[in-house]
Structure 1
Amino acid sequence: MSASGTTGTPDVTVVLSARGPEPRLTRSLDSLAGQTLGLDGIEVLLVGGGPAGDSPVGDSLAGGGLVGDGPAGDEAFRDACAAEQLERFSASRPATVGAAVARARGRYLLFLRSGDFLGREALTRLVDAADIRGSDVVYAKTAGATGALFARTGHRVPHDAPGLPWELSGTKLFRREPVERHGLRFADEIPAALAAQAFTLEALFRARGISVLADYDYCFASRASNTDTDTDTDPAPGIEDLLRGTAAAMAVTARFTEPGRLRDGFHHRHFARELDPLTGPALLDVAEPVRRRVFAGLRRLVTDHLSDAVLTRLPPGLRLRLSYVRAGDLPGLVSVVRYEAGHGVPPLRTDLVSAGWRRTGPARHTLVLTARSPLPGLGALAEAPVRLTGTRPGAGRIVLRPAPDGCGTEIEVRIPADAFPPGRTRFGLRTALLGTEHQATVPAGAPPRRAHGLRGLRPYRLHVAADGTRGLVVAVAPLGRRQQPRSAPAT
């Protein structure tokens, strides 16, 4: 199906990251040179793969030779290529990924990372699928991929196909005509690996058709690579770069979708993958001004894009951190991140400290519970975040205040003894935050507390103790004279 032989136009422009050790780059270039599509059908643009300001090197290969604007003069590029590769390719003027896209001549575009290589038939199969099916974007299965999207080959794939939002790297075939018509480019201010997500999303939403090819191992990824970040060839992105890249991608989704299930599916992917590290230990490692800027950006993302439907699908720890972002509580978020870094689990626990009877009038008593949560500012995260279970609604008064040592929240609960009916009542203390619930833990071996009070004119014994699981039990029993055994009748 190749059109290059008759039109002089390459079928595919491969934009290849040239950053990384020489053997990885050599492996990628060798795989392109060995494609069954033939060198006449391939144009290669080599770019640095780093942020746009790094002045990466751009090269153009067409018809088996390089077409460039100037002599080879970039020593860094020469050092990155083996001698046999230099015989095949020569360097030309510097270019960003965006500039590479603008210079591309192929009918299709494919982005490849240094170290990744293609199966011999990959480009032929991709071009044939796009030509025959009229697809503007073609997903190509990476060797070892097990995601739901690659369970089978499909064409006219809908945007809400399972797994599609999670595959946003540039290792796909893009029809160049709509890319040019709509002016799609990689944002210069964002590292290329992150800018690829916004580019891919807009291409997907504008595509007349999307194909997924799962019948062949099209790409073999470098071990250090993954589907959506260029950790193999780029330095680890800074936290502010990651924030900018994520904001750009989510803005594209918001521009092309209406509120609802489709938008939530893509936003869920970004909150689950990118906002996890953005609200994680990396936040502790940056200077305070950077931390405040990142937090402000996180608040904008949460305010603009985080629906309750997305929030409830996230893991409990991330859901908790985003709750602090939504509440605008940066110190609270930092406290939660530090707790999780030190304990390995989010601070989703509440411990009962004490439970006992307090006299509140003549022969009247109130059960007073004191508990402790490591969550700071608990009262600001949700309406009525602490609840009693096993008692009638409104039976107790709950007061939340900062813990005396400044770490976490102290919880005090007061329940009048009259709220407990005669007999045994099992109850507990539960903390509920946006779908994340946990019950207070009663210390093992907590001693029972007893008191005596009146109900009307009748005396009662009051008893509270651990119920042997994670709750408490209150026993209310009337006090009365023990019946004396009747004397046997005289004989």
Structure 2
Amino acid sequence: MEVAMSSSSTAGIPAVPGDPDGTKALAGAEALAGTKAPAGAEAPDVTVVVAVREDGRPRLGRCLASLAGQTIGAARIEVLVTGGPPQSPPDGAGPAPSHAPHAPPHDQPWASSGAARSPSPADLGAVGRTDTANQALERVRGRYLFFLDAADLLGREALARLVHAADSKGHDVVYAKTAASGAAVFARTRHRVPLGEPGLAWELSAAKLFRREPLLRHGLRFAEDVPVGLAEQAFTLEALFRARRVAVLADYDYRFAGGAATGPVRRSGPEARNSPAALAAAAAEPGGLEGLLRGTAAAMAVTARFTGPGPLGDGFRLRHFAHECDVLTGPAFLKAPEPERRRVFAGVRRLVADHLGDAVLAGLRPGLRLRFSYVRAGDQAGLVSVLRYEAGHGAPPLRTDLVSADWRRTGAARRTLVVTARTPLPHLGALGTGPVRLTGCPEAGRVLLRPASGGAGTEIEVRIPAEAFPAGRTRIGLSTALLGTEHTAAVAPGTAPRQAHALRGLRPYRLDVSPDGGDGLVVAVLPVGLPVGLPVGLRRTERA
């Protein structure tokens, strides 16, 4: 198929008269509903499924006109207008591009050069109407499917270019660049893209070209009990995993995400559904948090079905833990009613147990690793404590400070080294003493954890009997290890050496503890009255 390519994707995007509530466009679609190709006619090249949501109704006419003006020819397009993907609360998932995609200004002359008139929805040869995207999947005739929101527009050559790329290279799924998208996956055009390609997992909306045959052969459908954006993710994930070949086309502005016809550009369409703000807003609605959990679990289940342990699956799992699970364990969780909190916490804990491995952990920001530490431990109160700290101060720093080290009398001639430390991590005691680790003499130390006095955080106390230290010099340290994160306690500046005396058997010993100049302490156990031949340097060091 020969395709003539122009340099401007906005050329020929038609302007149509205003339709404030979408009534005219919807009426036109209804009038054409059920229109069928003549008997014996070839199947259209592409079926475009146009989802009509409230924000898209006023701009449906412009969307249909942009389809009528496609250079592939209206006769090669089938259009199915749906009432939107399956019913659900406001929704979304996926990273926002660096700046909002947008439609060209409404007063730009979009008509084709030399055209007698701008295309209109009436120029489309086959338009049908269904209630849902799943009903549309049962009726499609095109060799390819492209999903579009009614608020969006297509560049004039979009469908011709997409179909040509799929036909010439054998692609089953084609990513198409949205105007002004800053997504990393659209840095350049690639064919036969491996699924592990960086950025691919972060663009999972259904605004792509799909080959119809594998979709129908494998019975792909949109989940009807999860938010729209998550239903799109699960659908797109399965299509990707079943695809023979995948392409990313970044050489053209294929789609213009819907914006208001006048005034400042606002985001809409898949980009809006997939933005962090949309996720958070949806989660804050009644039942929204549980809807997000169901959708995230459904998407992760698809990845688990098609990938085993390793980098491929981890790339997709990282996307879900870094984005959807961030919202699931974020401020919306803190504001949810307690019964909903319990259900969501249990659901996220299952996701963590089933899908969160070390490689995924390493890719998460420290604050999320901390949250998932409490989730994995089954400590809902601890997660709430972390979120309350975040609300007032930001994410708790992964830091532990050694506050003091001194010898405490525990008998007539016995001493115990007591080391105290403090971390801003709240509710650490609920995780048990496992997160606190000693180096130097770990088998002898006893660790006590308690809420910090006078503010958020946890106080750590370590008690080590003097008898546990061998004669001579021993370096000891303390670290706090949580899920995927370990940090060494730092000695506070100005910490003074401390000294005491004790007996070992009948022989008196001097006990010293002092900073080692780094992140640890030096404990020196020396007999009183050192032999004359002891090196001067050792004398000096052990008395420091």
Identify the match of residue 184 of structure 1 among 207, 217, 220. 220
What's the CA shift for 1:421? 6.3
| Distance in 1 (alpha carbons) for counterparts of 2:269 and 2:322 | 16
Is 1:139 aligned to residue 175 of structure 2?
yes
1:9 has 2:43 as partner:
yes
CA distance in 2, matches of 1:339, 1:110: 45
Deviation at 1:480, TM superposition (A): 4.7
CA distance in 2, matches of 1:206, 1:103: 21
In the TM superposition, 1:448-459 aligns within 5 A as: 448-454=497-503, 459=508
Is the 8 Å Cα contact of residues 143 and 220 (structure 1) preserved in structure 2?
Answer: yes
Q: Does the CA contact (< 8 Å) of 2:491 and 2:520 recur in 1?
A: yes
Compute the TM-score of the two structures, normalised by the length of structure 2: 0.72
1:417-444, Cα deviation, whole Å (9 max, x unpaired): 3555677765432101233112334444
Unpaired runs of at least 5, structure 1:
55-83, 484-491
Instruction: Quote the Cα distance in structure 1 between the aligned partners of 2:223 and 2:468.
Output: 63
CA gap of 1:472–1:234, structure 2 versus 1, over 3 A, is: closer
What is the distance in 1 between the residues matched to 2:416 and 2:247? Answer: 68
Task: Tell me how far 1:27 sits from its aligned partner.
Answer: 5.0
Residues in 2 aligned to 1:340 and 1:306: alpha-carbon distance in whole angstroms: 23
Q: What are the Cα deviations for residues 262-294 of structure 1, in whole angstroms up to 9, with x where unaligned?
A: 222222221111111111111012111111121
Once superposed, what is the RMSD of the aligned Cα atoms? Answer: 3.7
Match of 1:394 among 430, 440, 443: 443
Q: CA deviation at 1:160?
A: 2.1
SS of structure 1 residue aligned to 2:273: coil
TM-fit CA distance, 1:316: 1.7
**Residue pairs, 1:354-373, within 5 angstroms:** 354-373=404-423
Match of 2:365 among 303, 315, 324: 315
Q: 1:407 to 1:205 in 2, by over 3 A?
A: same
Distance (whole Å) between structure 1 residues aligned to residue 191 and residue 433 of structure 2: 47
Cα 1:469–1:16 change in 2 (3 A) is farther
List per-residue Cα deviations over 1:352-385 (Å, max 9, x = no partner).
Answer: 4443211233443221022344545646648832
Question: Which of residues 216, 219, 222 in structure 1 aligns to 2:255?
Answer: 219
Residue 259 (1) aligns with residue 309 (2): yes
Residue of structure 1 equivalent to 2:158: 122
For 1:125 and 1:28, locate their aligned partners in 2 and report how far apart those are by CA, in whole Å.
18
Q: Which stretch of the first structure deviates more once superposed, 201-210 or 341-350?
A: 341-350
Output the CA distance in 1 between the equivalents of 2:470 and 2:152: 71
The corresponding residue for 2:479 is: 430
Larger deviation: 8-17 or 233-242? 233-242
Q: Compute the displacement of 1:40 (Å).
A: 1.9
Any residues of structure 2 matched to 1:438-449 within 5 Å, and which?
A: 438-449=487-498
Residue 254 to residue 382, structure 1, CA distance change in 2 (3 Å): farther
Residues 409 and 416 in structure 2, CA contact (< 8 A), matched pair in contact too: yes
Distance 2:62 2:386 in 1: 44
Task: Name the TM-score, length of structure 1 as normaliser.
Answer: 0.79
Whole-angstrom CA distance in 1 between matches of 2:432 and 2:170: 50
Quote how far apart the aligned CAs of 1:295 are. 1.3
Indicate the residue corresponding to 2:26 in structure 1: none
Q: Which amino acid aligns with 1:200?
A: T
| Higher RCO by CA contacts (8 Å cutoff, separation 6 or greater) | 2
Residues in 1 aligned to 2:450 and 2:308: alpha-carbon distance in whole angstroms = 41
Aligned to 1:302: 352
Residues 226 and 262 of structure 1, relative CA distance in 2, 3 Å threshold: farther
CA 1:205–1:134: 2 relative to 1, 3 Å:
same
Deviations 1:107-166 (A, max 9, x none): 211112344332221111100111122221111123344555334433332222232222
Q: Shift in Å at residue 338 of structure 1?
A: 1.5
Distance 1:53 1:402 in 2: 42
Aligned partners of 2:85 and 2:134 also within 8 Å = no
Contact 1:16 1:47 in 2 (8 A): yes
Q: In structure 2, the residue corresponding to 1:349 is in which secondary structure?
A: coil
1:280 aligns with 2:299: no
The separation in 2 between residues aligned to 1:471 and 1:32, in whole angstroms, is 69
Q: Is the 8 A contact 1:350 1:373 kept in 2?
A: yes
CA–CA distance in 2 between the matches of 1:191 and 1:361?
66
Deviates more, 1:336-345 or 1:43-52: 43-52
Q: 1:476 to 1:147 in 2, by over 3 A?
A: farther
Within 5 A, what are the aligned runs for 1:13-52? Answer: 13-19=47-53, 20=55, 25=60, 28-49=63-84, 52=87
How far apart are the structure 1 equivalents of 2:68 and 2:122? 13
- Alignment partner of 2:460 out of 398, 411, 433: 411
Mark the runs of 5 or more structure 2 residues left unpaired by the alignment: 4-36, 90-118, 259-265, 283-287, 533-544
Q: Distance in 2 between matches of 1:358 and 1:349?
A: 26
Seen in structure 2, the aligned counterparts of structure 1 residues 456 and 53 have a Cα distance that, compared at 3 Å, is closer
Give the 3 Å change call, closer, same or farther, for CA 43–346 of structure 1 in structure 2: farther
What secondary structure is seen at the aligned counterpart in 1 of 2:462? Answer: strand
AA partner of residue 481 (structure 2): A
1:70 maps to what in 2?
none
The answer to whether the 8 Å contact 2:61/2:121 transfers is no
Q: Which moved more, 1:30-39 or 1:393-402?
A: 393-402
Q: Distance in 1 between matches of 2:419 and 2:145?
A: 66
Flag the 1:228–1:460 CA change in 2: closer, same or farther, 3 A. Answer: farther
Secondary structure (helix, strand or coil) at the match of 1:52 reads coil
1:302–1:325 CA contact under 8 A, matched in 2:
yes
Q: Alpha carbons of 1:144 and 1:458: their partners in 2 closer, same or farther (altered >3 Å)?
A: farther
SS at match of 1:177: helix
Change (3 A) 1:85 1:38: closer
The 2-side partners of 1:109 and 1:93 are apart by 15
How has the CA–CA distance of structure 1 residues 33 and 423 changed in structure 2, closer, same or farther, with 3 Å as cutoff?
farther
- Give the 3 Å change call, closer, same or farther, for CA 379–46 of structure 1 in structure 2: same
Distance 1:262-1:383 versus aligned 2 partners, 3 A rule: farther
Alpha carbons of structure 1 residues 86 and 29: separation in structure 2 relative to 1, 3 Å: closer
Distance 1:121 1:92, change over 3 A: closer
Aligned-pair CA distance for 1:173: 0.2
Which amino acid is the alignment partner of residue 250 of structure 2? A
2:230 to 167, 182, 194: 194
Aligned residues between the structures: 453
Match of 2:290 in 1: 240
- Larger deviation: 466-475 or 36-45? 466-475
Structure 1 residues 350 and 26, CA gap change in structure 2 (3 angstroms): farther
